Chains A and B, each alone.
Chain A
Amino acid sequence: MAQPFVKKDDDRDEEAEYSPFFGIEKGAVLQEARVFHDPQLDPRRCSQVITKLLYLLNQGETFTKVEATEVFFAVTKLFQSRDIGLRRMVYLMIKEISPSSDEVIMVTSSLMKDMTSRTDVYRANAIRVLCQITDGTLLAQIERYLKQAIVDKNPVVASAALVSGIHILQTNPEIVKRWSNEVQEAVQSRAALVQFHALALLHQIRQNDRLAVSKLVTSLTRGTVRSPLAQCLLVRYASQVIRESANNFQTGERPFYDYLESCLRHKAEMVILEAARAITELSGVTNRELTPAITVLQLFLSSSKPVLRFAAVRTLNKVAMTHPMAVTNCNIDMESLISDQNRSIATLAITTLLKTGNESSVDRLMKQITNFMSDIADEFKIVVVEAIRSLCMKFPLKYRSLMNFLSNILREEGGFEYKKAIVDSIVILIRDIQEAKEIGLLHLCEFIEDCEFTYLSTQILHFLGIEGPKTSDPSKFIRYIYNRVHLENATVRACAVSTLAKFGAMVDSLKPRVLVLLRRCLFDSDDEVRDRATLYLNTLGGDGPVVETDNDVKGFLFGSLDVPLVNLETSLRNYEPSDQPFDIDSVPKEIKAQPLAEKKAPGKKPIGLGAPPTAPSAAVDPYDRLLSSIPEFASYGELFKSSAPVELTEAETEYAVNVVKHIFDHYVVFQYNCTNTIPEQLLENVTVVVDASEAEEFSEVASKPLKSLPYDSPGQTFVAFEKPDGVPAVGKFSNVLKFIVKEVDPASGEAEEDGVEDEYQLEDLEVVAADYMQKVGVSNFRNAWEGMDPECEQVDEYGLGPRESLAEAVNAVIGLLGMQPCEGTEAVPSNSRSHTCLLSGVFIGNVKVLVRLSFGISGHNEVAMKLAVRSEDENVSKTIHEIVASG
């Protein structure tokens, strides 16, 4: 082996920091590249220059277009040299430069010559280079050689051609598909990696033909696949076939399970792991099927290799989420992993144990974790805290030891995110476990005695103000709170004053003493603190005799602000000091469409301090409150559904308008959110004139104009329609925005006295059947489905015509029905030829509806669908079919 290594001049005496590339500069190296043009090439010197160029690229340096072209042309000269080492560097360089198509022509002939060379190294590398830089037209020319290369005796050449085939398949599938026979032959190769590459390519060629994939898997699982990597692929393909056939409602024995199970006894660990993971991820896996997989994973847990332990514990951790009982056998091995050197493994072990543990083991586990917590990083601690939180929700009786644990770790060192996770957990326990309330609050009080994070202190003080007064002995919290007024920064002091006031308002017996404390705060050095103290003293009636606090005051102290803060801020900015006091009712209550849409977007539910202390409100809530606050619409009854905002104007037009459709049993209200984007204009008396001639079942009953629409401050105007009760009437509405426009002087901001009437055409708006459907999921679709009377089921089949893909067809139908996909069935695995989608929803009139959609796609992308509907009302089932039939 020693011979081939070309060692460069080395001088070991120099300092360790020495680098052969020290002080390297792009410009100088590009100059050096001129040696490529020498008539007498010096291969070693050229290699060194290319290495320098590659070094620069590898360090993140970039070449300009001109520089790259120059280097490329210079490099092509080097094909003259017969030196293999240099040629290899040329290959690397060409790949790095990725020349443009007109440049590629320059090297094509040289590379094609190398491709047919008798030197294996040339053939393999030239194939890879050429396939990487070439485009479809050239491929046809070299196709013949590639097909030959696939079945080349030399495994390196065969692999090079196969891997290139996998890459080309993405861009030129029709060419690669013609190589099926050769690829199939290569699957039988004795060389392990050739088999692996051939199998990967063969599967990708056939991926859209489910039957062919199934056949391929069937034949190969019987035969012998030697390469462990190829075996891993086969396991993945087999589980894909299992997934897809499960969608066909096949019953009985699961196909290929025996194969997966036999792979658990394979000699390569990577295959065992792949198979074990595949088994644990089977949908609806039974305990009997799981057992052998769990057993091999358990063995891995005590491996000497960290990677193996990690892989096993990570898989078991996932299994524990769905089948905690199946994992309990591993608990002893798991416990020994708590002290694992690799903290990722230890954390995964702990969280798995927390998921599988039973009530009696909690105390022992907590003891072990305490030792463990001191020497892991914050990010792992957060994971553990979250696991403990869910454990506590599972075993509420154990709150005492868990709360103790949380309070202990709260006292120890830690960063903000970690402390916040702990505080959030305690807050949730306090909220959900009645018995834990007082002890939890006291822990939090102790924490703020020595808390370096202003944010956490203020959040806890706020929380104390709400929960503290409801405890049996609120007076014991006062000391902690009042200490804040002495010892903290102004933000925390101000917050503490508010909390004190809340205690004063809620607990009459404490009121006189709270008033004394508040009076002391009047001498605080910070004006916000003084202002708050003054305000609360007045609202609590500090000057007069002590009386029972009236509801107005409580509402003021505790009620949530029902106007969005952004709008309040804008209004306050616009308010000019005058005799007229600022009127909070003048603040628009509707939020700009944008933030609301974000809020409705699926995301993590706010937890802990960030969330309001009451149950999280539904997304529809802000609309509900808004509408019921408008007298015209207050009598319309309960709001059934509000649609997502629909844009009625193009982006960046003078006036931006979108509409939200509010559906009531007997009415439909259109809420037009308007924004004026012209600073020189003030709009007044804004209305939308709606023409409902194409919506026969609707008749306009009310309209609420918008008094004034200044620049960049969104406002709403409403139009209400009456419609037949409980009927999903549909129709099309055309809209015109009418208003009086007044010029505004940009300098003074004053509007002119006189305005001109004007109108602005908006896009049409449609009320569709999906508007009458609430997205309401069910947790267990099967149970819900079987719980409905099979008699009311309505089944029919539809042809959806040619579609882009199965996923597109599925999404179109989901969108049409406006229902909630259940159990993740809205996701269509790529390449699948059929799919079943489960939907649930509540139709107007509060009728529960469940839908089971079975899709199939033909070779010509023709999609057919079977629609089965079950609902509490046969007419509703019919309506669903009508929606689909007309859509």
Chain B
Amino acid sequence: MELCPSVKNVLLLDSEGNRVAAKYYCDDWPTNSAKEAFEKAVFTKTQKTNARTEAEIAMIENNVVVYKFVQSLHFFVTGGEDENELILATVLQGFCDAVGLLLRGHVDRREALENLDLILMCLDEIVDGGIILETDPNVIAGKVASQSVDAGGPLSEQTISQALATAREHLTRSLLN
């Protein structure tokens, strides 16, 4: 068994099964057509289930797939056959809720595509090369959303609180050194 929990892919599909965003972390699906075939299989197998209040789960092509539907978007996280289902579910929950926060509650295809940059950054903050990076939706959304201007820039461009934080950091650094 793989000792470190790992994620094989994270998918975001619309209500017709089209890919909104997808990230694969392993070589099980080497070509785009293989990926699309997997997404289609996953979508059709889960389509009729009710995965709205609680995350659902299925075995697909010897993989554990946990999934959740929020409004008109379908969220999926895939792991290996022996993976701890609850770890995958935690990743899924982090993904769903972070996207919900970033899209400010309008979880649909159009909103997601219009804010695709946020979604892609969100994926980037959740898993790195198959290793779980962060699962807390607030932290994930916070990291994606902290888009203000470079804190190293002139002070005038910073908000007061940021300036304070920077100052505090400066102070602690100088104390530590």
Contacts and interface: CB of A to CB of B under 8 A. Distances in A.
A771 interface: no
A163 interface: yes
Contacts of B135: 193, 229
Interface string A40-59: 00000001001100110011
A270 interface: yes
Given A16-B110, A119-B152, A58 B55 contact: no
Interface of B is mostly: mixed
A88 B27 CA distance: 26
A305 B55 contact: yes
Interface of A is mostly: helix
Interface residues on B, range: 35 or more
8 contacts: A84-B146, A92-B124, A118-B166, A164-B128, A236-B3, A305-B54, A307-B54, A307-B57
**What 7 A-B pairs have minimum CB-CB distances, sorted nearest first?**
A60-B32, A270-B86, A85-B147, A82-B150, A311-B85, A4-B145, A51-B117
A163 B4 CA distance: 11
A483 interface: no
B75 to A, nearest CB: 13
A121 B143 contact: yes
B131 interface: yes
B133 interface: yes
B150 A119 contact: yes
Interface of A: 1-2, 4-8, 10, 16, 18-21, 47, 50-51, 54-55, 58-60, 82-85, 87-89, 91-92, 95, 117-119, 121-122, 128, 132, 156, 159-160, 163-164, 166-167, 193, 196-197, 200, 203-204, 229, 232-233, 236-237, 240, 269-270, 273-274, 277, 304-308, 310-311, 314, 341-342, 344
Contacts of B128: 128, 160, 163-164, 167
A274 B58 CA distance: 19
Given A5-B104, A84-B146, A88-B147, A274 B84 contact: yes
A84 B89 contact: no
Interface in B104-149: 104, 109-110, 113-118, 120-121, 124, 128-129, 131-135, 141-143, 145-149
Nearest to A83: B149
Which of B132, B134, B147, B152 has the most A CB atoms < 10 Å from its CB? Answer: B147
Contact of B114 (A8, A117, A273): A8
Given A47-B117, A163-B131, A306-B56, A156 B143 contact: yes
B145 A273 contact: no
Contact of A4 (B19, B22, B66, B146): B146
Nearest to A312: B85
A806 to B, nearest CB: 17
A311 B120 contact: no
B13 interface: no
B5 interface: yes
Interface in B140-171: 141-143, 145-153, 166, 169
Given A233-B3, A306-B56, A341-B50, 15 more contacts: A1-B141, A1-B145, A4-B147, A7-B115, A82-B150, A84-B150, A87-B150, A92-B120, A118-B166, A119-B151, A193-B134, A204-B4, A236-B1, A273-B86, A304-B54
Given A159-B133, A306-B55, A166 B4 contact: yes
A269 B110 contact: no
A344 B86 contact: no
B42 interface: no
B49 interface: yes
B102 interface: yes
Interface in B82-103: 84-87, 89-90, 101-102
Contacts of B152: 82, 117-119
